[in-house]
Amino acid sequence: MIAIRRRGLNILFLLLLGASSCLAHQPPRPGLPLRLIRDIPLPGRITRFDYESYDPRTGLLFISHLGDSAVLVFNTRTQTLRGVIHGVSRVHGVLAVPQLGRVYASATGQNEIDVIDERTLKITARIPGGVYPDGMAYDPRLGLLFVSDEAGGTDTVIDTRTNRRIATIPLGGQAGNTQYDPVTGRMFVDVQTRNRLKALDPRTLRIAASYPLPGCRHDHGLYIDAPARLAFVACDGNARLLTFDLNRHRVLAIHRLGRDPDVLSFDVPRQRLYVASESGVITAFALRHRALRLLGRAHLAYEAHSVAVDGRGRVYFPLQNLRGKPVLRVMRPVKP
């Protein structure tokens, strides 16, 4: 009996030794290729932020403060707060359209789209936006705004010349993010409860194509890299990022992300993709020859699920609670 026990202990010891050796030889998880510039205090309560949108023409960054029903306007050139637009009920999506000098905000609390004059920072119109308006994309050729109606399972189409809703396109499932492809002139939308990417024709206002996304559960985040003919799809159901070929309409690669990925932002000059997540984990990639390479992954802060990049490559994360205050974390890229 004693010999059996000793042999059992020896086997257990060898197993533990082997496990520790495997862990020791695993490469350490890299940190983020970003360096902190400053944390800038923001007005308002310690409540949830959501999308951001940068206007390269004016250098203004628009930040939706969902929990405060407000849109914050930050001047990236002077690194100061320009103003606050109140009364945008439960604002989720925000989209600056430089061609029009306007900003569109999805006021989900009232199920409408609020139109903001970028010069005066005043709300000039309110348009029906569906059941639960969220992300938005603009078609500059036809002057149409497409709005992801998440719970309604549709894309709402608004004519920006008249500020009127002209169509509602059924998607057959919940709408994730919507993005415009200037090469084909189509809108692409995540249908997150079907794990599919659908292409919408802005001229016919119908679904033109539907593509499966194998390896993805609940595709929500979306970014279109038109020059590379790629779509990057963030799947919040299984924390994966898919690289989707827009020419051959198939998945090229799958990468791991932080839990519950949400917003994507792409630094065009540096060819860096940032993916933020509800878990506060940020993942950074480099794009080379139509393939992504992991640069780093790390936990940044509580609920750091929104990210935007300005014209100088500076990266912005609105944080709802940093030592009891909301702040805008500004970082700059460094070599990994």
What would the mean pLDDT of 163-181 be, rounded to a whole number?
Answer: 98
Task: Tell me, yes or no, if the pTM score tops 0.85.
Answer: yes
Average pLDDT over residues 19-48: 72
Which domains does the chain carry? 30-333 (2.130.10.10)
Average pLDDT over residues 44-49: 97
Q: What are phi and psi of 204, to 5 degrees?
A: -95, -15
Residue with tokens 């950074």: 284
Q: Tokens for 52? A: 């951001």
Checking if the pLDDT of 5 tops 90, the result is no
What is the arithmetic mean of pLDDT over 189-201? 98
What is the average per-residue pLDDT within 40-48? 97
Residue 75, both tokens: 């001047």
Q: How confident is the model at residue 8 (pLDDT cuts 50, 70, 90)?
A: very low
Mean pLDDT, all residues of the chain? 92
Within 10 A of 103 (CB to CB), how many other CB atoms are there?
25
**Percent over 90 (pLDDT), the chain:** 90
Instruction: Give 30's pLDDT tier (boundaries 50, 70, 90).
Output: low
Q: How far apart are CA 94 and CA 40, in angstroms?
A: 21
* Residue pLDDT, tens place only, 225-271: 999 999 999 999 999 999 999 999 999 999 999 999 999 999 999 99
293-301: average pLDDT = 96
Given this model, what pLDDT does residue 29 score? 47
Angstrom distance (rounded) from CA 202 to CA 179: 12
Q: What is the CA radius of gyration of the chain?
A: 22
- Can you give the pLDDT at residue 50? 97
Model confidence at 334, pLDDT cuts 50, 70, 90, reads very high
Mean pLDDT of 99-105: 98
pLDDT of residue 74: 98
- Among 263, 272, 251, CA closest to 303: 263
Is 213 a residue whose pLDDT tops 70? yes
Q: How many residues does the chain have?
A: 336
**Cβ partners under 8 Å of residue 120, min gap 6:** none
Q: What average pLDDT does the segment 148-152 reach?
A: 96
Question: Which amino acid, one-letter code, is at 47?
Answer: T
Which residues is 281 bridged to in the sheet?
A: 299
Share of the chain above pLDDT 70, in %: 91
Cα 209 to Cα 28, 45, 58, 92, 119, distances in angstroms: 42, 43, 36, 27, 38
How far CA 286 is from CA of 187, 199, 294, 296, in Å, comes to: 25, 26, 7, 10
pLDDT at 10 over 90: no
| Structure confidence at residue 237 (pLDDT) | 97
How many Cα neighbours within 13 Å face the side chain of 149?
23
The DSSP result for 208-231, as a single string, is EEEEE-TT-SSEEEEEEETTTTEE
pLDDT at position 7 over 60: no
Residue, of 20 and 124, whose pLDDT is higher: 124
CA angle 262, 159, 175 (to 5 degrees): 30
Whether pLDDT at 308 is above 50: yes
Segment 261-287 mean pLDDT: 98
Helical ranges in the chain per DSSP H: 2-25
What average pLDDT does range 52-76 have in this prediction? 98
Closest CA to 154 of 206, 216, 90, 89: 206
Task: For residues 7 and 3, give the distance between their C-alpha atoms in angstroms, rounded to a whole number.
Answer: 6
pLDDT score, position 336: 83
pLDDT (average), residues 81-95: 98
Q: Under a CB-based contact definition with an 8 Å cutoff, are residues 156 and 184 in contact?
A: no
